[in-house]
Chains A and B, each alone.
Chain A
Amino acid sequence: MKRKILDSIIEKIIFICGILAIIFVILIFGFLLKEGFSFFKECGITKFILGKFWYPTSDPAQFGILPLIIGSLFVTVGACIIAVPLGVMAALYISEIAPQAIKDILKSFVELMAAIPSVVIGFVGMVTLVPLVRTLFGVPTGLTAFSGSIMLAFMAMPTIVTISEDAIRSVPWQYKEGALALGATKWQTIRRIVLKAAMPGIIAAIMLGIGRVIGETMAVMMVTGNAAHIPGSIFEPVRTMTATIAAEMGETVRGGLHYRALFAIGLVLFVITFLVNFVADLFLGKSKRK
């Protein structure tokens, strides 16, 4: 009898832990919403999203995050242009072409890559990539959106490679055998059959990579120069939404307008990453159902 009661108590605890994830998401969203809305009430949401100037400490303060959104967009698009083709190609090589022993080593490498802290990557970028960009392109400073894109591409790579690799590996072997039996070469099979069948999973991998890039903070703050203005080219300094929160939160008055403005940026980031992950999850579901 005692056993039964104990069991039921434990099962209740397990259930509560199970739904905790939902509670946390609601709590995070609610908290951002509360602070964000009290900011929007004072400053207006359109002025916030479309305002061209971010001068949080001048008088009167201006809280327009358009330059920050464009900054995030610049580095994200740049990172994707580099990381997506390379990542998918590497995933194809690892899952379809590499011999088993090399496959294991390469996969461990990719996993280690994901473990390197973003401050370490940012620091190495500062001392190697930034001076290189400056001399190579003859720009006044190497702290540019371009440098940020390269660092972020590198950081998105593990996500893109691992998840694409999963998707490619889960393509049914019958598909491949069918193509090979018809006389297609191995490469023709990979390009026309495997790649197509794995596409939903690869798209999910790309979306998750984008999510990672948009949310990345430290490395981006260290190499992009943090100038809150609308950039004319990728060889100018930019400031992302994440870097703004990280750099300015320390100087704000707790509960003040600037403090709440940073929470409002957090809200924008939360909504963007929620949508990106939601779409990625839809594609993942699609690729699993096959």
Chain B
Amino acid sequence: MIKLSPKLSQKLSYALLFLATLLVITPVTIIVFIIVKNGASAITWEFLTAMPADGMRGGGILPAIVGTLSIVMCAILITLPIGVCAAIYLNEYAKDNLLTRTINLAIVNLAGVPSVVYGLFGLGIFVMFLKLGVSIIAGALTLSIMELPVIITTARGALRSVPHSFREASLSLGVSRWQTIQYVVLPNALPGILTGAILSIARISGETAPILFTAAAFYVPHLPNSVFDQVMTLPYHLFIISTQIPNMPKNIIFGTALVLLIMVLSMSLVAIIARIYFRKRRKW
């Protein structure tokens, strides 16, 4: 066995680590490339604004786009206020006691529950027990519980980054605790909370398993009229046309995947850039 000099072994190891990093990030590049290359030709105005036709082998994907947007918007409207309040409780009010530790454990655990188990739960409680049926609202409620731990964690990080001296200055002026939070802490934490919310929206736009039995329909020939309607959604539509329908034109599948990918990645990118921007601009 040849003993390498420390210098050489450092060079070799660095090269190896660099190679591993390349291996980690190439697949994402390949996936995006394949979908853009094969899907770009399918994207036309008609594809985005027309109803599916010809057993979904033609026409557009408008109902799936509208369905996804409506579920996601409902979900974020439910989960954002609750998540931010929970974060405020944990960061501003909670003492280090058994209750707080239990809440933390619950959040960690909620974040780890498999998405398909959320689907089961949503089916059991919202669709069956509360009799909401397979609907936008049942899907949105399911997704909002799933996204709650993420919202709490990011909002809490944003609240924590507001310096303690801000709170002390406000409290020493005789301002109440809640008013301090309302007028001093929250405005300063807002950019962080919002970027977290955008990332969450991006993430739940692509979720399939939780809405599989709670909101998604195989095919609906019209746009939803109320939150109690079943809807088509982009991820579920992609799943169906790529696995269940024979002789599906390839460019429609890739086109659908591309629309979903653009939605998700553009939102994530906005959030990432906004975060870098706010971090640089921060004065403390």
Give the interface of A toward B (CB within 8 A). Answer: 3-4, 7, 10-11, 13-15, 17-22, 24-25, 27-28, 31-32, 35, 85-87, 89-90, 92-94, 97-98, 104, 106, 108-113, 115-124, 126-128, 154, 157, 161, 185-188, 191, 208, 211, 214-218, 222, 242, 245-246, 249-250, 254, 262-263, 266, 269-270, 273-274, 276-278, 280-281
9 contacts between A and B (CB under 8 A): A11-B177, A14-B85, A14-B89, A117-B235, A185-B10, A215-B116, A217-B208, A273-B109, A274-B112
Over the window 5-19 of chain B, the binary record of Cβ atoms lying under 8 Å from chain A Cβ atoms (1 yes, 0 no) is 011011001101110
CB contact under 8 A between A110 and B25, given known A116-B31, A187-B14: yes
Closest to B204 in A: A117
Tell me the complex Cα distance, A270–B120, Å: 11
CB contact under 8 A between A117 and B206, given known A7-B179, A18-B103, A35-B124: yes
Chain B contact surface mostly: helix
Chain A residues in 8 Å Cβ range of B125: 27, 31
A18's partner among B85, B114, B117 (CB-CB below 8 A) is B85
Q: Quote the shortest CB–CB distance from A277 to chain B (angstroms).
A: 4
Nearest 8 A/B pairs, CB to CB:
A117-B206, A215-B114, A18-B89, A17-B85, A89-B20, A187-B10, A277-B112, A93-B17
Q: Quote the shortest CB–CB distance from A108 to chain B (angstroms).
A: 5
Tell me the complex Cα distance, A273–B260, Å: 28
Question: What 5 new A-B contacts, CB under 8 Å, besides A28-B113, A111-B272, A116-B261?
Answer: A7-B177, A14-B86, A28-B121, A87-B24, A119-B235
A117, B117: Cβ atoms closer than 8 Å: no
Closest to B5 in A: A185
Chain A residues in 8 Å Cβ range of B51: none
Closest to A255 in B: B128
CB contact under 8 A between A21 and B107, given known A115-B264, A120-B206, A249-B212: yes
Q: Quote the shortest CB–CB distance from A82 to chain B (angstroms).
A: 9
Give the interface of B toward A (CB within 8 A). Answer: 6-7, 9-10, 13-14, 16-18, 20-21, 23-25, 27-28, 30-31, 34-35, 81-83, 85-86, 88-90, 93-94, 99, 102-103, 105-121, 123-125, 128, 145, 148-149, 152, 176-179, 199, 202-203, 205-209, 212-213, 235-236, 238-239, 242-243, 253, 257, 260-261, 264-265, 268-269, 272, 276
Chain A residues in 8 Å Cβ range of B253: 123
Closest to A222 in B: B243
Tell me the complex Cα distance, A28–B23, Å: 38
Closest to B267 in A: A115
B178, A24: Cβ atoms closer than 8 Å: no
